[in-house]
């Protein structure tokens, strides 16, 4: 059985290696740009209100291992952030100390309407309160005026997490029904506009009744390190959480990556309002109910559906959930439990018509829940009693993985005759269809690069940023799903652990996909996260070439994709690999060569010579390929497991052993 305290132990000894994906140059640029905007508006008198009304607080249940190291890191990061706020006038700051056994990542944000003095005072109050979590390795404090959070791993791109919640006041506003509809309209506008505004902040006010006797004030804000779509996802959930508040006079919604608040009382000064009109492209929101109806009816917005699911979930859980319990990656939540009967009827008794596909771990069915939400239900083809016993703890772990490039597990069902998992339904299906299936040729180069980049980020998260290292072991295009905007979501992670041991490697199950399987794993069962790096490299070659790795090219010589790619590379003919359906105006030769070389680096042997996935993320955004070390040729392996080429390499220097083949969740 998985034991989380054991995972914690191993995790705590982790030293984060190499640069992390969140030091993405684009974000740095965005942060600088926003800082400039903020500095321009800093110099104004303090209203002397740090707004330290506490909305949410939580301490991780895990403690740091080396307390002196931990406090050194915590103090250094807090001091760094305080100087960014007090001296540089920032309203958003991050800082991290990741070099020792107890890494600390911190994020702090003030509402932009706060003066520098108020923001600093709010931050100081948050620091004082968060220190009461003693040695907890993660904690957060959310005030009206600011929030502060630290974790032992990178979390800067998190948007919405379990624990997101709406907080309503008990006071009812006057002119209740007019107030209600004014709030609905204003908050919907904020939700639409804020993700498009540089800095992700907007403060607005709107008269409820003419003459200004009743006015509604509202703000929305996202962490500056999330993407525009991440901000939108988060505010969509926050918006759902606020739905039940009006006509209460005040409402707030808190989440990991955003904040939403409205009130009938001014809480920022008049000159701090944002003109959001230019950011409200499309229709007016006065009629937002009609817009929602249209979007859902058109099946257009999974995000909205996700929001509604969360809202539904939260409203069903009623007020039992302890506020302040979650919102931190360091605390694991149990999965939502669905009833077998509901899932059976949602999928039309698991009918053939509802079948979306057959995965390595069982069949997948499209389901329509009673509330109209569309989900994907996976029927696990794992019946052993051990699997059943492990199911609960594994699913708890999986359902706590939140990353925009990883398919979200909505819940599970273990009470019926089968073990069922419920996921977001991705209407665009899997990547293989786009590479060599019915939708071949649809993806342009930018979309393909985004898929490569997103998949790398998702894997880096699973390997290095989650509590425990999750090795996927079966990365291939059919396990990479595409959302509405063709962004990748990695599916089927973490399930390998439920397989009986004798199937974990070297089984017939792998015969068909051996092309993605690292040789040291296929032959010797040596498992490490570099097994995923290898598969990722092969998938990148497929994305570039539009060719299946297992298809042989017969002319001029018999070879599989990987061999062909290496030969072309060695003869400096990389560009011959590129899919003919790609428009050559969409990419530069240099860029394409760089990505091909990164893919080849990922397929090297021994495993230790392959980059980690966070290194891959950095390489992908690095401008020039000249810095790349020249990759060394790997072991080639046929489907019949005949080894060719450099056989010595297969011994590898990986630290894993055959006996470790059942420990995908390894300490690092
Ligand atoms: C904590 O780490 C420091 C240096 O990183 C080391 O000197 C010290 O012995 C460690 N303390 C414990 C209790 O492990
Ligand atoms: C960290 O700061 C706190 C509060 O200022 C102080 O009590 C503690 O001694 C500091 N710890 C280290 C290791 O610097
Ligand atoms: C921290 O906890 C102590 C004891 O429980 C309490 O007296 C103190 O007021 C708390 N500090 C803050 C800032 O809440
Ligand atoms: C904004 O309004 C506040 C009071 O409402 C005032 O003190 C301040 O000077 C104003 N700031 C600017 C830049 O006009």
Query: pLDDT, tens digit, for every residue of 406-454?
Result: 998 888 888 777 888 999 889 899 999 999 888 888 999 999 999 999 9
Spatial separation of the C-alpha atoms in residues 201 and 443, rounded to whole Å: 33
**Per-residue pLDDT, 154:** 81
In a domain, 623, yes or no: yes
Q: Ligand 1 mean position to 105 CA, how many Å?
A: 19
Give the CATH number of the domain where residue 289 resides. 3.30.430.20
For the chain, percent of residues with pLDDT exceeding 90: 41
Among 95, 124, 151, where does a domain finish? 151
Q: Identify the H or E element spanning 490.
A: strand 488-490
- Name the more confident of 384 and 547: 547
Asked if pLDDT for residue 71 goes beyond 70, the answer is yes
SS3 63: strand
Spatial separation of the C-alpha atoms in residues 65 and 69, rounded to whole Å: 9
- The residue contributing the CA closest to ligand 3 atom 14 is 129
Atom of ligand 1 nearest to the CA of 66: 1
Same domain, 359 and 480: no
- Map tokens 């690069």 to a residue: 449
Res. 639 pLDDT band, cuts 50 70 90 = very low
For the annotated catalytic residues, the residue numbers are 474
Same domain, 534 and 647: yes
Q: Ligand 4 mean position to 47 CA, how many Å?
A: 9
Between 56-60, 100-104, 578-582, the lowest mean confidence (pLDDT) is in 100-104
Residue-wise DSSP of 382-437: ---HHHHHHHHHHHHHHTT---TTBPPEEEEE-SSSS-EEEEE--TT-BHHHHHHS
- The residue contributing the CA closest to ligand 3 atom 7 is 132
Give the CATH number of the domain where residue 471 resides. 1.10.510.10
Res. 507 pLDDT band, cuts 50 70 90 = very low
Alpha helices (H) in 226-266, listed in sequence order: 228-242
For the chain, percent of residues with pLDDT exceeding 70: 73
Same domain, 448 and 555: yes
**Per-residue pLDDT, 209:** 82
Q: Any idea how long the chain is? A: 668
Query: pLDDT, tens digit, for every residue of 644-659?
Result: 333 333 333 332 222 2
- Strands 420-424 and 336-337, bridge-based pairing: unpaired
The ligand that comes nearest to the alpha carbon of residue 74 is 2
In a domain, 376, yes or no: yes
SS3 567: helix
pTM over 0.85: no
Among 151, 180, 212, where does a domain finish? 151
What radius of gyration, in Å, describes the C-alpha atoms of the chain? Answer: 26
Query: pLDDT, tens digit, for every residue of 148-198?
Result: 999 988 888 888 887 788 999 989 998 888 999 999 999 999 999 999 999
Asked if pLDDT for residue 19 goes beyond 90, the answer is no
State the residue range of the domain holding 103.
22-151
Spatial separation of the C-alpha atoms in residues 125 and 145, rounded to whole Å: 11
Same domain, 642 and 553: yes
In a domain, 14, yes or no: no
Q: What is the chain's mean pLDDT, rounded? A: 76
**Per-residue pLDDT, 174:** 87
Same domain, 353 and 307: no
In a domain, 11, yes or no: no
Atom of ligand 4 nearest to the CA of 269: 5
Phi and psi of 87, rounded to 5°? -95, -40
In a domain, 12, yes or no: no
> Do the beta carbons of residue 304 and residue 33 sit within 8 Å?
no
Same domain, 117 and 229: no
Query: pLDDT, tens digit, for every residue of 203-232?
Result: 999 998 877 789 999 999 999 999 999 999
- Map tokens 């005026």 to a residue: 145
Spatial separation of the C-alpha atoms in residues 62 and 138, rounded to whole Å: 8
Asked if pLDDT for residue 609 goes beyond 50, the answer is yes
Spatial separation of the C-alpha atoms in residues 119 and 85, rounded to whole Å: 7
In a domain, 159, yes or no: no
Same domain, 72 and 190: no
In a domain, 575, yes or no: yes
Query: pLDDT, tens digit, for every residue of 75-120?
Result: 999 999 999 999 999 999 999 987 777 889 999 999 999 999 999 9
Same domain, 248 and 275: yes
**Per-residue pLDDT, 557:** 60
Asked if pLDDT for residue 132 goes beyond 70, the answer is yes
As for how many domains the chain has, the answer is: 4
**Per-residue pLDDT, 500:** 47
Between 94-98, 202-206, 343-347, 490-494, the lowest mean confidence (pLDDT) is in 490-494
Among 327, 351, 378, where does a domain finish? 327
């Amino acid at each position: 059985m998985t034991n989380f305290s054991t995972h914690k132990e191993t995790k705590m000894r982790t030293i984060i290696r190499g640069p992390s994906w969140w030091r993405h140059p684009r974000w740095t640029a965005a942060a600088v740009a926003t800082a400039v905007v903020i500095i321009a508006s800093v110099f104004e008198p303090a209203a002397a209100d740090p707004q330290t009304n506490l909305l949410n607080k939580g301490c991780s249940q895990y403690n740091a291992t080396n307390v002196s190291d931990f406090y050194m890191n915590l103090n250094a990061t807090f001091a760094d952030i305080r100087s960014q706020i007090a001296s540089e006038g920032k309203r958003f700051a991050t800082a991290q100390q990741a070099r020792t056994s107890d890494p600390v990542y911190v994020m702090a944000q003030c509402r932009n309407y706060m003066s520098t003095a108020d923001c600093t005072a709010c931050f100081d109050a948050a620091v004082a309160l968060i220190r009461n979590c003693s040695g907890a390795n993660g904690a957060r404090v959310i005030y009206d005026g600011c929030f502060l959070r630290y974790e032992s791993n990178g979390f800067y791109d998190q948007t919405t997490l379990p624990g997101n919640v709406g907080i309503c006041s008990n006071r009812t506003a006057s002119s209740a029904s007019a107030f209600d509809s004014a709030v609905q309209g204003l908050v919907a506008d904020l939700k639409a506009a804020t993700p498009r505004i540089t800095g992700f902040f907007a403060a607005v006010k709107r008269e409820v009744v003419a003459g200004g006797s009743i006015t509604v004030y509202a703000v929305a804000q996202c962490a500056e390190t999330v993407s525009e779509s991440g901000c939108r996802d988060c505010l969509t959930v926050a918006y759902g959480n606020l739905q039940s508040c009006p006509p209460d006079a005040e409402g707030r919604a808190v989440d990991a990556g955003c904040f939403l608040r409205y009130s009938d009382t001014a809480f920022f000064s008049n000159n701090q309002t944002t003109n959001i009109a230019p950011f409200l492209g499309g229709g007016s929101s006065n009629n937002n109910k009609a817009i929602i109806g249209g979007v859902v009816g058109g099946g257009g917005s999974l995000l909205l559906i996700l929001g509604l699911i969360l809202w539904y979930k939260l409203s069903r859980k009623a007020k039992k959930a302890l506020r302040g319990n979650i919102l931190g990656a360091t605390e694991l939540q149990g999965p939502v439990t669905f009833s077998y009967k509901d899932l059976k009827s949602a999928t039309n008794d698991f009918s053939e018509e509802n079948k979306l596909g057959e995965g390595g771990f069982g069949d997948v069915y499209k389901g329509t829940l009673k509330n109209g939400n569309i989900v994907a239900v996976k029927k696990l083809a794992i019946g052993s009693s051990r699997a059943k016993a492990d199911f609960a703890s594994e699913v708890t772990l999986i359902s706590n993985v939140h990353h925009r490039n990883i398919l979200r597990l909505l819940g599970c069902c273990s009470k019926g005759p089968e073990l069922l998992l419920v996921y977001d339904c991705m209407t665009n299906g899997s990547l293989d269809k786009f590479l060599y299936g019915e939708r071949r040729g649809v993806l342009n180069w930018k979309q393909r690069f985004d898929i490569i980049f997103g998949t790398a980020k998702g894997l880096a998260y699973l390997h290095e940023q989650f509590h425990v290292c999750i090795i996927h072991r079966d990365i291939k295009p059919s396990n990479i799903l595409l959302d509405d905007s063709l962004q990748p979501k990695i599916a089927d992670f973490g399930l390998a652990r439920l397989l009986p041991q004798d199937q974990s490697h070297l089984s017939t199950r792998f015969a068909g996909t051996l092309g993605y399987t690292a040789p040291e794993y296929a032959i010797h069962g040596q498992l490490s996260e570099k097994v995923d790096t290898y598969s990722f490299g092969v998938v990148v070659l497929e994305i570039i070439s539009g060719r299946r790795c297992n298809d042989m090219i017969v002319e001029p010589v018999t070879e599989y994709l990987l061999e062909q790619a290496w030969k072309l590379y060695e003869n400096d003919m990389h560009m011959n690999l590129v899919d003919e359906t790609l428009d050559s105006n969409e990419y530069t030769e240099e860029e394409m060569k760089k990505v091909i070389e990164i893919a080849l680096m990922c397929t090297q042997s021994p495993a230790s010579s392959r980059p980690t996935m966070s290194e891959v993320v950095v390489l992908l955004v690095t401008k020039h390929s000249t810095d790349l070390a020249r990759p060394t040729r790997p072991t080639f392996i046929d489907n019949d497991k005949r080894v060719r080429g450099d056989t010595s390499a297969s011994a590898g220097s990986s630290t894993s052993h055959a006996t470790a083949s059942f420990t995908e969740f390894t300490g690092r």
